[in-house]
């Protein structure tokens, strides 16, 4: 038996509803057995597909072939660009690693941000995403460059209104690369910056107030994970996979 609300329930499950409609659906499924069952089915199918389906990535040979095809394409279409190479920018060793993935991310972010103009409504989420994007612009990522938490932590004392948890999880793949002060939501928030593979993860923290903790969400391709420890709200922002982002969130929460 199918309820007339089933498409709305599905949209709710897919995170496509605004808060009011979502609340409607939640109320409705409390009394509608068919919709409760539907929600269960949806969860089951998703879990099966995400866990058990072969998640293939492009074979290295294909990648090679494509890069080669692009070379040829450039050679034919843009012979003038085959001229003298641009002078290479020589970054300091630290930046070589840190920037390997950042350039593209920043560019994407910039474009997404300035041209897409998505229907953003929540000012906190807006602020976080724009602060994250801003941080990816050259020279905005880090104010205090250090992989030592004993350097980063005290630095915050003089530069921000809060004193967040700082730790290095190099062994688990999350390298502490520094800290930054960011003006956000009316106060000077502390940002601890981690590097995970080629991705940058910004962990924002600010003093909690009466407003509830926002739900984990995805905006413009950036995942935002929220949690609260003591009187501080934390938000980790990155374009890594959810698992990887939540991994760092867990490690930080476990410190308390």
Partner 1 sequence: MDDRRRCFEALVLPHLDAAYRFARWLSRSPGDADDVVQEAILRAFRGFDALRGSDVKAWLLTIVKNCHLTALKQQQRRGFVPLPEEHDVQDGEAMIATTPDPESSSVRRDERRTLDRLLSSLPEEHREVLVLRELEEMDYRAIAAVTNVPIGTVMSRLARARAALKARWLKEAEREPHAVR
Both tokens of 158, joined, read: 């003089």
Quote the least distance from Cβ 136 to partner 1, whole Å. 12
52 binds partner 1 (CB under 8 A): yes
Nearer to partner 1, 9 or 235 (CB): 9
Beta bridge partners of 193: 178, 202
Classify 86 as helix, strand or coil: coil
103 binds partner 1 (CB under 8 A): yes
Contact 182, 191 (CB under 8 A): yes
Instruction: Convert residues 113-152 into a mask of x (bound to partner 1 by CB under 8 A) and - (unbound).
Output: -xxx------------------------------------
20 binds partner 1 (CB under 8 A): no
**What is the distance between the alpha carbons of residues 248 and 226, in angstroms, rounded to a whole number?**
11
213 binds partner 1 (CB under 8 A): no
Nearer to partner 1, 77 or 150 (CB): 77
**What is the distance between the alpha carbons of residues 203 and 180, in angstroms, rounded to a whole number?**
10
Nearer to partner 1, 78 or 231 (CB): 78
Window of 55-63, 142-150, 171-179, 180-188 that interacts with partner 1 by CB under 8 A: 55-63
Alpha carbons within 13 A on the beta-carbon side of 38: 23
Cα 136 to Cα 34, 69, 168, 232: the distances in Å are: 47, 31, 20, 24
Give the one residue of 19, 45, 137, 207 binding partner 1; rule: CB under 8 A: 45
**What is the distance between the alpha carbons of residues 213 and 234, in angstroms, rounded to a whole number?**
9
Nearer to partner 1, 132 or 180 (CB): 132
Classify 156 as helix, strand or coil: helix
**What is the distance between the alpha carbons of residues 147 and 92, in angstroms, rounded to a whole number?**
15
Residues found near partner 1 in the complex (CB under 8 A): 6-7, 10-11, 14-16, 41-42, 44-46, 48-50, 52-59, 62-63, 65-66, 69-70, 73-74, 77-78, 81, 103-104, 107-108, 111-112, 114-116, 218, 221
């Amino acid at each position: 038996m199918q309820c007339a609300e089933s498409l709305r329930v599905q949209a709710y499950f897919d995170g496509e509803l605004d808060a009011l409609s979502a609340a409607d659906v939640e109320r409705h499924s409390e009394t509608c057995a068919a919709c409760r069952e539907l929600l269960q089915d949806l969860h089951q199918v998703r879990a099966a597909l995400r866990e058990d389906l072969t998640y293939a990535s492009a074979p290295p040979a294909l990648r090679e072939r494509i890069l080669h095809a692009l070379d040829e394409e450039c050679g034919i279409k843009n012979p003038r660009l085959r001229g003298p190479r641009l002078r290479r920018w020589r970054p300091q060793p630290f930046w070589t690693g840190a920037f390997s993935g950042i350039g593209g991310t920043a560019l994407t972010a910039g474009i997404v941000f300035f041209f897409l103009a998505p229907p953003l409504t929540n000012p906190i989420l807006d602020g976080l995403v724009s602060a994250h994007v801003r941080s990816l612009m050259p020279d905005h990522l880090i104010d205090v460059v250090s992989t030592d938490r004993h350097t980063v932590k005290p630095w915050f004392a003089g530069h921000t209104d809060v004193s967040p948890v700082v730790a290095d999880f190099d062994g688990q793949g999350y390298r502490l690369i520094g800290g930054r002060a960011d003006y956000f939501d009316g106060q000077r928030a502390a940002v601890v910056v981690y590097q995970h593979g080629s991705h940058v993860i910004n962990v924002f923290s600010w003093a909690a107030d009466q407003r509830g903790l926002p739900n984990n969400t995805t905006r413009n391709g950036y995942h935002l994970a929220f949690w609260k420890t003591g009187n501080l709200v934390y938000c980790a922002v990155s374009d890594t996979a959810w698992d990887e982002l939540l991994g760092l969130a867990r490690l930080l929460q476990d410190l308390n």
